[in-house]
Amino acid sequence: MRRTAIAMILAVLVLAGCKSENKMAQFGEIYRERPTTIYVAPLNDRSLRRAVRTVEDSVYNAAVNTATKQLYLTASDPLVFNGYYVLGPMASAQLAATDGRTFKQLRNENINDYYSDLGVDAILLMTVNLWNATFNTWTVEVEYTLRSTRTGSEVMHTVARATKMLRTDFKGRPIPLREDQQFADRYGCDLETAQRCRLVEVLNQFVLKDLPSGTRQREHSLERYIPTHPEYFNLQINPDGSVMIVPADDEE
């Protein structure tokens, strides 16, 4: 946790040197509406799976499926940390099952009843667009949209492509960080799955902790003027665990 916190601080310092807006410019509607309660909707998974012809294909698909679930399950933690009320997993699952609206409907149609009937101020919608990997890198692209249930407008929209990199040994095998190994041991998963899960967890922390402070957390006097990430950007987790932010249009 300490290393993750340090990495986030380094990321903010790097971001300050990039072309970025401050929080008031990026999240002005959130500051005006001051949402309190957020519902994390079921994921929209558009990433491809492999046709199962070998054991490796099955392993790949299982790793991607697990990491996609991890993306959803770890989205609420940074929101709660930031001072928002978030519907718990059981309540969210029951709401999704009984409501029956599709992701597309939640994204585009009237959702005012979530506010008037349930007291939900905003819905977080996440789309996984792709997964890529090489022998020592793992990449995911996620689109985040926070939609107001009062006005139906998008109060936050972010598209981030995140990559986690590892060093390799003299045989070309990836060398996991201590935190990677601890994660794999704790959850009984292979290192491939651990890399993907830790990648989406760090991405959630970076994107969602950067939202304005919720009503349960006191806003710092300078918060609105702190630089924030661009709407489209690339996040890179380096082999030492540090994080580098690169605006999407500067990727080349």
User: Residue 177: CB partners within 8 Å, gap ≥ 6?
Assistant: 166, 239, 241
Residue 190 CA to residue 131 CA, distance in Å, equals 17
Contact 205/9 with Cβ under 8 angstroms? Answer: no
78, pLDDT greater than 70: yes
Mean pLDDT of the region 212-217? 92
For domain 20-247, give the fold.
Rossmann fold (3.40.50)
pLDDT for the residue 10: 45
Confidence category of residue 3, pLDDT binned at 50, 70, 90: low
Predicted confidence (pLDDT) per residue in 91-119, tens digit: 999 999 999 999 999 999 999 999 999 99
Per-residue pLDDT band at 149 (split at 50, 70, 90): very high
Query: Rounded distance, CA 80 to CA 204, Å?
Result: 12
Helices (H), the chain: 2-16, 23-26, 28-33, 55-73, 76-81, 89-99, 103-108, 112-118, 178-187, 191-209
**Is the pLDDT at 5 greater than 60, yes or no?**
no
pLDDT top residue among 214 and 4: 214
Q: Is 0.95 topped by the overall pTM?
A: no
What pLDDT, on a 0 to 100 scale, did the predictor assign at position 15? 47
Confidence class of residue 6 from pLDDT cuts 50, 70 and 90?
very low
